[in-house]
């Protein structure tokens, strides 16, 4: 006999434990999908989750992919914690990359220590400005931020497409849809010879520390958390709701912009059409899987980055379509949301005897 | 380009055709939202409908099975959303996003072997009348049955919501689930039905794209139409007839920018392609500025979780 009871408060340990349940369920679900597709599930899962990180190069690739995910998710956690649904991080990433890339292109034939900081700053500002559009429309015109931020993703991608095909395309590039290569000074320094992992990872780690400080040690963080829990309380306490909305969107946009700049100055080295394999959308999953907690997000970004790598490896070795990665990502979020049920409800399995005794 | 009367007739006909997926998806979502459920998975359900419709057409060579199958797959995938939000009480926004991400991934995985296969011609009705009557011919005739259904749907939806008892039940559940529940209405069941209905319509909208509008399978072929449909519901302030008007406006913009591209207008293609998205934002701003009007028309319990202690 199963009895379901509502919990009075959420146990903290369980709150951070359910993401692990979600991951295990996703792996099981993945095994089933591989079986249906006609692959040996054990072998496929091995190629998916173990092979990619079994050597140093693979591990560096994992960190490389986790970096933008972590950065964006940290930014999103500010929005989501305060009940602002910014789902257009992909657009903010793209616009940040456009602005940062534009600055890098200005200096394409110059070298100098000041170039990279300028490019990074430009990227962050670009993302910030782009995120301000839905924020301003939300605060002053009452417009739904979900739809506006999402529409802007398409707009930013078309703008990038226009730039790399048209005015910014490489004059010596035989009409390929790409810009010139950035100069060495606009590139993120590599951390190790022969590996692609670059200094952008420090940006992500700095964002983690900073966000922890803001969220848990400052008045702004307190305001954000209270507004997320109860808008009425926030109003009663006299918090300036509009300013806060603008601030969380700016933080979120800046982080996404940084992620974009990290990609183009790191592994890519120029602007072209495909600068992000939907990192901005996947980071939404990372933010939730990490429980909107800065350190949880580090862990979650590694897990989700593995689905990207695993999808690539499985495609190379087993010809499993790489889109299984996205299916996995969707499944993680489904299972995470489902396992949240355990947070709010206690599932008791009562033996019949006990039950009889009680009545 | 001659702007004679028959050309305008053809233009209006093509605007109607391009608004069909928006009408279908937005009408479905409208019923879902009227019952108090915000399903942001429209894009995901549409793309699943598109691939399953196309795949079934290729496999069975039967368009009827393809259309029905696309609606069924829309229902199946919306069932995931229904189970999570209604039975496991998950957050509507997050679950809808998950549905979209999952749907796009799943459709690309399923569609891998269907890329590049040419589609089949979809039968059109009254094709002889289309040619013989100037102006009105291309507007009224020579369309697929799905188009006629789509143009009837807003009126049917309006009738359903305003004149039938079931429609009243749906509205009651959306506006005040607690009182509805006190009246003996099974709120969860009604919401499940509305979610599945929305899934079926989104599936059909997707199939319209892959079977009729551009008969082939392309990855991500819905290209944000699901999100525009969601915006349309807000634009229409949850009224079915206004959904029709809104969808025609957006269809108009799409066709207009295609024609501008075709005649080599001096604006870069990408800016023209961005028009529907920019228009969505502008329209949303204009419509939402009056917060009272939005508040009055929004289903009161939209996006809120309903839970009743048993």
SS3 for A96-118 is HHHHHHHHHHHCCCCCCCCHHHH
Tokens, residue B174: 């959306």
CA–CA dist B23, B249 (Å, integer): 11
Residue B270 touches partner A, C-beta closer than 8 Å: yes
Q: Is the ipTM of this complex over 0.90?
A: no
- Burial readout B97-127 (b: 16 or more C-beta within 10 A, e: otherwise): bbbbbbbbbbbbbbbeebeeeebeebeeeee
- Domain range holding A297? 2-358
- ∠ Cα B238 B249 B93 (to 5°): 40
Q: Tell me, what CATH number does B287's domain have?
A: 1.10.3470
Residue A20 touches partner B, C-beta closer than 8 Å: no
Cβ contact, residue pair B102, A155, below 8 Å: no
Q: Is residue A48 very low, low, confident or very high in pLDDT (cuts 50, 70, 90)?
A: confident
CA–CA dist B79, B58 (Å, integer): 25
Backbone phi, then psi, for A3, in 5-degree steps? Answer: -125, 135
Top residue of A158, A162, A288, A318 to mutate, by most chain B CBs within 10 Å, is A158
CA atoms within 13 A on the CB side of A130: 39
Q: B238 to chain A nearest CA, in Å?
A: 15
Q: Tell me, what CATH number does A262's domain have?
A: 1.10.3470
Tokens, residue A299: 């862990």
Query: Read out DSSP for A239-279?
Result: --HHHHHHHHHHHHHHHHHHHHHHHIIIII-S-BS-S-SSH
Could you report the per-residue pLDDT of A9-25, keeping only the tens digit for each?
A: 778 888 888 899 999 99
Count: domains in chain B? 1
Count: domains in chain A? 1
* Residue A167, pLDDT above cutoff 70: yes
Tokens, residue B69: 């199958």
Q: Which residues pair with A281 in a beta bridge?
A: none
Using CB atoms, which residue from A148, A285, A329 is nearest to B281?
A: A148
What is the distance, to the nearest Å, from the Cα of residue A250 to the centroid of all Cα atoms in its chain? 16
Q: Which of B219, B247, B220, B222 is nearest to B233 (CA)?
A: B247
Cβ contact, residue pair B106, A330, below 8 Å: yes
What is the C-alpha end-to-end distance of chain B, expressed in Å?
Answer: 67
Mean per-residue pLDDT pooled into runs of 10, chain B (310 residues): 70 90 96 95 96 94 93 96 92 91 90 84 75 73 87 96 94 92 92 96 96 89 91 91 93 86 81 89 88 82 78
Tokens, residue B240: 């079915």
Cβ atoms of residues A162 and A276 within 8 Å: no
Cβ contact, residue pair A337, B84, below 8 Å: yes
Per DSSP (E only), the strands in chain A are: 2-6, 345-349
Query: In A, which residues are within 8 Å of B97 by CB distance?
Result: 87, 284, 333
Q: A357 to chain B nearest CA, in Å?
A: 22
Identify the pLDDT of residue A352. 56
Query: In B, which residues are within 8 Å of A333 by CB distance?
Result: 94, 97-98, 101-102
Cβ atoms of residues A286 and A306 within 8 Å: no
- Domain range holding B72? 5-297
Q: Which residues pair with A345 in a beta bridge?
A: A6
Could you report the per-residue pLDDT of A81-139, keeping only the tens digit for each?
A: 998 999 999 999 999 999 999 999 999 888 889 999 999 999 999 999 999 999 999 99
* Residue A347, pLDDT above cutoff 80: no
DSSP letter at A198 equals B
Using CB atoms, which residue from B89, B101, B274 is nearest to A326?
A: B101
* Residue A357, pLDDT above cutoff 70: no
- ∠ Cα B127 B130 B134 (to 5°): 165
Residue A87 touches partner B, C-beta closer than 8 Å: yes
CA–CA dist A350, A186 (Å, integer): 64
Could you report the per-residue pLDDT of A265-324, keeping only the tens digit for each?
A: 999 999 998 899 999 999 999 999 999 999 999 999 999 999 999 988 888 888 877 788
Q: Is residue A350 very low, low, confident or very high in pLDDT (cuts 50, 70, 90)?
A: low
DSSP letter at B84 equals I
CA–CA dist A148, A132 (Å, integer): 11
Cβ atoms of residues A103 and A118 within 8 Å: yes
DSSP letter at A5 equals E
Cβ contact, residue pair B270, A282, below 8 Å: no
Identify the pLDDT of residue B1. 46
Token pair 């709150």 in the structure block, residue: A15
Q: B90 to chain A nearest CA, in Å?
A: 6
Query: SS3 for B119?
Result: coil
Tokens, residue B74: 């829309």
Chain A residues 339-358 within an 8 A CB cutoff of chain B: 340-341, 344
Locate all alpha helices (DSSP H) within A37-88, ordered by sequence: 41-49, 56-81
Residue A154 touches partner B, C-beta closer than 8 Å: yes
CA–CA dist A305, A329 (Å, integer): 10
Query: SS3 for A6?
Result: strand
């Amino acid at each position: 006999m199963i009895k379901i009871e509502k919990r009075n408060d959420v146990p903290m340990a369980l709150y951070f434990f359910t993401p692990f349940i979600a991951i295990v369920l996703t792996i099981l679900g993945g095994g089933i999908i591989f079986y249906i597709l006609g692959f040996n599930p054990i072998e496929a899962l091995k190629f998916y989750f173990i092979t990619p990180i079994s050597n140093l190069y693979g591990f560096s690739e994992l960190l490389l992919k986790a970096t933008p995910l972590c950065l964006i998710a940290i930014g999103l956690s500010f929005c989501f914690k305060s009940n602002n649904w910014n789902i257009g991080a992909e657009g903010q990433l793209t616009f940040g990359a456009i602005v940062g890339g534009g600055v890098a292109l200005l200096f394409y034939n110059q070298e100098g220590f000041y170039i990279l900081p300028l490019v990074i700053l430009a990227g962050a500002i670009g993302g910030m400005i782009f995120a301000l559009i839905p924020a301003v429309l939300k605060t002053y015109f009452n417009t739904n931020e979900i739809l506006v931020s999402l529409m802007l993703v398409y707009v930013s991608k078309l703008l990038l497409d226009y730039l790399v095909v048209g005015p910014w395309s490489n004059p010596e590039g035989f009409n390929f849809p790409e810009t010139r290569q950035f100069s060495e000074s606009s590139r993120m320094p590599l951390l190790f010879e022969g590996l692609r992992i670059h200094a952008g990872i420090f940006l992500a780690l700095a964002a983690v520390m900073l966000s922890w400080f803001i969220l848990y040690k400052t008045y702004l963080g307190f305001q954000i958390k209270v507004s997320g829990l109860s808008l009425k309380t926030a109003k009663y306490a006299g918090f300036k709701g509009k300013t806060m909305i603008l601030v969380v969107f700016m933080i979120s946009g800046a982080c996404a912009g940084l992620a974009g700049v990290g990609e183009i100055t790191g592994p890519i080295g120029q602007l072209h059409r495909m600068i992000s394999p939907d990192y901005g959308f996947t980071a939404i999953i990372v933010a939730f899987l990490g429980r909107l907690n800065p350190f949880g997000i580090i862990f979650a970004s590694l897990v989700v980055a593995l689905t990207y790598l695993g999808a690539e490896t499985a495609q190379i070795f087993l010809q499993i379509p790489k889109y299984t990665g996205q299916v996995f990502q969707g499944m993680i979020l489904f299972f995470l949301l489902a396992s949240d049920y355990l947070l709010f409800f206690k599932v008791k399995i009562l033996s019949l005897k006990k039950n009889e005794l009680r009545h | 380009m001659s702007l004679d009367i028959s050309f305008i007739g053809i233009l209006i006909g093509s605007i109607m055709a391009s608004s069909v997926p928006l009408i279908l998806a937005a009408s479905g979502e409208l019923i879902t939202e009227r019952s108090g459920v915000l399903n942001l998975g429209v894009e995901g359900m549409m793309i699943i409908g598109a691939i399953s419709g196309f795949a079934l057409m290729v496999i069975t060579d039967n368009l009827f099975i393809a259309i029905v199958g696309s609606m069924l797959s829309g229902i199946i995938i919306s069932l995931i959303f229904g189970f999570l939000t209604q039975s496991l009480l998950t957050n509507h926004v997050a679950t809808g996003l998950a549905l979209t991400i999952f749907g796009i991934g799943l459709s690309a995985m399923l569609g891998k072997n269907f890329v590049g296969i040419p589609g089949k011609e979809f039968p059109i009705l009254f094709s002889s009348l289309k040619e013989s009557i100037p102006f009105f011919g291309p507007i009224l005739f020579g369309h697929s049955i799905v188009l006629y259904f789509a143009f009837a749907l807003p009126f049917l939806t309006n009738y359903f919501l305003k004149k039938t008892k079931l429609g009243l039940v749906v509205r009651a559940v959306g506006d005040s689930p607690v009182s509805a529940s006190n009246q003996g209405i099974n709120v969860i069941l009604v919401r499940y039905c509305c979610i599945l209905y929305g899934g079926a319509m989104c599936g059909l909208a997707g199939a319209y794209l892959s079977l009729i509008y551009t008969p082939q399978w392309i990855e991500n072929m819905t290209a944000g139409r699901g999100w525009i449909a969601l915006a349309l519901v807000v634009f229409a302030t949850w009224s079915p007839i206004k959904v029709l008007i809104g969808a025609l406006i957006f269809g108009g913009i799409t066709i207009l920018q295609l024609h501008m591209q075709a005649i080599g207008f001096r604006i870069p293609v990408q800016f023209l392609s961005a028009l529907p998205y920019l228009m969505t934002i502008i329209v949303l701003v204009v419509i939402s500025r009056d917060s009272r009007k939005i508040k009055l028309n929004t289903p009161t319990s939209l996006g809120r979780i309903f839970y009743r202690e048993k």
